[in-house]
Structure 1
Amino acid sequence: MIQLHDVDLKLLRVFATIVKCGGFSAAQAALNAGQSTISEQMNHLETRLGVKLCQRGRSGFRLTEQGVAIHEATQRLLSAVETFCMDADVLKQRISGKLNLGIIDSTITDRDSPLPRATQRFVSRGHDVHLSVYVGTPAELEERVLDNRLHLAIGHFPVRIPGIHYSPLYHEALGLYCGHHHPLFETELEGAELGKAIGASRIVVRGYMQQYDLDVLGVSKAAATVDNIEALAILIISGAYLGLLPMHVAQQWVRTDEMRRLPITNSQLESPFDVITRRGAMPPILHAFLEDLTQCSGSTGKA
């Protein structure tokens, strides 16, 4: 059995950084080291572990099969070390360490989001905390919360996964939009006639909210599917598709007449945001941030 020492942890962190950056050259700035030093460290790590971790050369950088397995184990190990450090801080009665937060894309313009206010409140308390923010799809966020790469994440999560705690946070207002070149951009249709025209149009939906989008619009299938809001906006602006878009995101294109919100009457045009955490013991750093997040959202609901 391999015995790990401090130097091994350092080398594993170097390895994790190389993989994250996509190669030796790309990792030089992040590691503040030259390529020869990084290569020497990797050779040392491979010798210590007794396996070849990666292929590097003119063909580019790629992990070997053993390298993939070691990288996954490294992620788990470094996460466990980080969790231990945070738990140890309880004995010192202070909050410090690293807080890994995940969010979905295109929330920066949403004034209803409590995240900016909660972050300001949390940081102003003087905690010795390094905040790391990851932007991803709902599925990616759930996966990263489950394997401890993220302490919490905020987004749309219509399907509940075992092992994750879901708590309602706030709602995002939606509208149905078309681009300037879409046939309905100049329409005066309303009610049933507009609904019929929508049903005859190409619809783009959010993959993670597909059934919700279809049900709201009263259509049975989508002509396009996306996993982020930027892609959704691109297809709507093209004039080829109709789609539900957060109103705070669409406003910039409505002002320039590149988009128009269609007058459909539906009081349920909103997407719920949840905050998710892994079930189990909660480190103090996470507990403190969630308290500030709850205070800034005014939400106390649990799921």
Structure 2
Amino acid sequence: MARKRTAAVGDIEIRLLRIFHTVVECGGFTAAEVELNIGRAAISMHMADLEKRLGLRLCQRGRAGFSLTEEGRQVHDACLRLFSALENFRGEVDTLHARLRGTLDIGIIDNLVTIPRMQVTDALSALKDIGPDVRVNIRMIPPNDIELGVLDGRLHVGVTPALRNLPGLDYRPLYDEESLLYCGAGHPLFARADGDIPDEAIAQADAVAPTYAQTLEARALHRPLRATATATDREGVAFLILTGRYIGYLPTHYAELWVNQGRMRALRADDYRYRTEFRIVTRSNARPNLILKTYLDLLQRQ
């Protein structure tokens, strides 16, 4: 058969390709008659039309039975990719037409708003552009409560430190947070250079210990400190450090305001530091939710 450049694929070609696909799936013209609800002669005519349009011999048919040529197999593989792309396109267009309505319930731990990497904020802004009618509810609660809220459906999504993996939840990385050891203005260590601050001076200083959940690395660095005060959240840690009487760990983005004001400083930042990974938490096998899917897609793009 003479070769020629394939014409543009339009509605007619797609219809013929779907007939071809059905014939291949059924294993021949005769079996495809019932599936297509047309006669064998009509199927043969459509196949001949498709071969003419493509300039390719797609199959052998006759007394020996039905079989694909090598080119027919390749065209059929291309058909499957084409049909998949068309379905994806249709789904994306349907999503654009579907107006986002409803609520998005988010659980976040305290004091993340000052982190420079604003994926959560930027994704919420983009969600407002796409779905102006979406109602967003944010709850500032501890990590354990966030995970339980996602599990029982009270929350659609959460942002938590990487402390553990619970069955029934999916976790995906969001960003890392760095924490350093700080003291406040007026503390005996505040005016001393890092080289003049031995480990013993840090170990003997009054320190604030957090009572909220921490990573293994964070717990290991808190253990040598002389904890004479506790705090249930990071704002409480900051209050005590700012008294000038305690040392304690804070995220760098959260302490930055007071550092710039000269009210806090980091102690031996190269030695006393740790990183905490934060993750997006969703429920495994949750019911489809277009608002949540859109928000997660926007987070991924950020």
Give the TM-score of the pair, scaled to structure 1: 0.61
Gaps of 5+ in 1: 1-88, 297-303
Show the 5 A alignment for 1:204-283: 204-206=208-210, 207-209=212-214, 211-216=216-221, 219=224, 222-266=227-271, 269-281=274-286, 282-283=288-289
- What CA distance in whole angstroms lies between the structure 2 residues aligned with 1:201 and 1:221? 6
Structure 2 residue 100 is matched with structure 1 residue 98:
no
Residue 183 of structure 1 aligns to which amino acid in structure 2? P
Matches within 5 A, 1:73-222: 93-126=98-131, 128-190=133-195, 193-206=197-210, 207-209=212-214, 211-216=216-221, 219=224, 222=227
Q: Cα gap change, 1:272/1:138 in structure 2, threshold over 3 Å: closer, same or farther?
A: same
Give the structure 2 partner of residue 288 of structure 1. Answer: 294
Amino acid at match of 1:238: T
SS in structure 1 at match of 2:213:
helix
Aligned positions, number: 206
SS of equivalent to 2:189:
coil
Q: For 1:8-62, what per-residue CA distance to the aligned partner results, in whole angstroms no more than 9, with x for missing partners?
A: xxxxxxxxxxxxxxxxxxxxxxxxxxxxxxxxxxxxxxxxxxxxxxxxxxxxxxx
Kept in 2, the 8 Å contact 1:199–1:218? The answer is no
Runs of 4+ in 1 over 4 A off after TM superposition: none
- Deviation, 1:157, is 3.7
What is the SS of the residue equivalent to 1:98?
Answer: strand
Shift of 1:218: 6.2
Which string of whole-angstrom CA distances, capped at 9 and with x for unpartnered residues, describes residues 198-220 of structure 1? 12223323321164323235627
CA distance in 1, matches of 2:232, 2:118: 20
Distance 2:269 2:240 in 1: 20
User: In structure 2, how many angstroms separate the alpha carbons of the residues matched to 1:271 and 1:113?
Assistant: 16
State TM-score, norm by structure 2: 0.61
Shift of 1:266: 4.1
Unaligned stretches of 5+ residues in structure 2 = 1-93
Shift of 1:233: 0.4
**1:261 and 1:183 mapped to 2: Cα distance?**
13
| Amino acid across the alignment from 2:202 | I
Distance between the aligned counterparts of 1:165 and 1:250, measured in 2? 31
What is the RMSD of the two structures over their aligned residues, measured on CA atoms? 2.5
How far is the alpha carbon of 1:268 from its aligned partner?
5.8
Identity %: 32
C-alpha distance in structure 2 between counterparts of 1:135 and 1:280, whole Å: 25
Take 1:99 and 1:264, find their aligned partners in 2: how far apart are those partners? 39
State the structure with more CA Rg.
Answer: 2
